[in-house]
Structure 1
Amino acid sequence: MYDMNNLKQLGALGKNAEPAMKAFQALDQAALADGAIPKKYKELMAVAVALTTQCPYCLEIHKDHAIKAGATQEELAEVTFVAAALRAGAAVVHGTHLMEK
């Protein structure tokens, strides 16, 4: 199901929902642009989110963008464990809802 070639259909998607696609692209560009937070760190955050949401398209795209922005293999490895810790942490704190009061 997941094939990077599917991204070639973004043009058709955008053509059929042009205002929404243009708005999404503007948001995406603005959110990931260099700013108070440097682009490299934003792309590392995007990788962490993609690991958490398990989106293979986002993983591939943002991994490449992070590397182009200067991220190292060590940083990508560390961001993997940040994502893992947060995902596991969410399960732990949600477990408090299971405890009797």
Structure 2
Amino acid sequence: MDSLAPEVMKAFWAFDKAAVAEGAISVKHKELIAVAVAVTTQCPYCIDIHSGNARKAGATDAEIVEAAMVAASLRAGGAVTHATHALSI
């Protein structure tokens, strides 16, 4: 992709790097958020990358699992909410 759309990918990688940089939210917590989002979007590559980055930023396995469980509960909550529509049919 980098060779086929160099300007777009350059902009993407700059945005990606800036999004997880230290700021009001620490890198560790941003990477835990990224793990949770990756679980929700079901992106195995993203899960690998961001769980590794979270560990490098000091996250424990327990923190990674807890972030993933928050994501799982929200995803399941969406299914439960949508299931209520079956009652109105």
Asked if these proteins are the same fold (TM beyond 0.5), I'd say: yes
Displacement over 3 Å in runs of 4+: 96-99
Instruction: Provide, for residues 61-93 of structure 1, a one-character-per-residue CA deviation record: whole Å limited to 9, x for no partner.
Output: 101100000000110111121111010011112
Match of 1:63, as an amino acid?
S
Aligned with residue 28 of structure 1, among 16, 41, 58: 16
Superposition RMSD on alpha carbons, in Å?
1.3
Point out where structure 2 has 5 or more consecutive residues left out of the alignment.
none
* TM-score of the superposed pair, with normalisation by structure 1: 0.81
* TM-score of the superposed pair, with normalisation by structure 2: 0.92
Q: Secondary structure at the match of 1:15?
A: coil
Instruction: Provide, for residues 5-36 of structure 1, a one-character-per-residue CA deviation record: whole Å limited to 9, x for no partner.
Output: xxxxxxxx101101110110011011111101
| 1:79 has 2:71 as partner | no
Q: Supply the distance in 2 between the matched residues of 1:54 and 1:40 (Cα, whole angstroms).
A: 21
Q: Percent identity?
A: 57
Question: Paired residues, what number?
Answer: 89
Point out where structure 1 has 5 or more consecutive residues left out of the alignment.
1-12
Q: Secondary structure at the match of 2:58?
A: coil
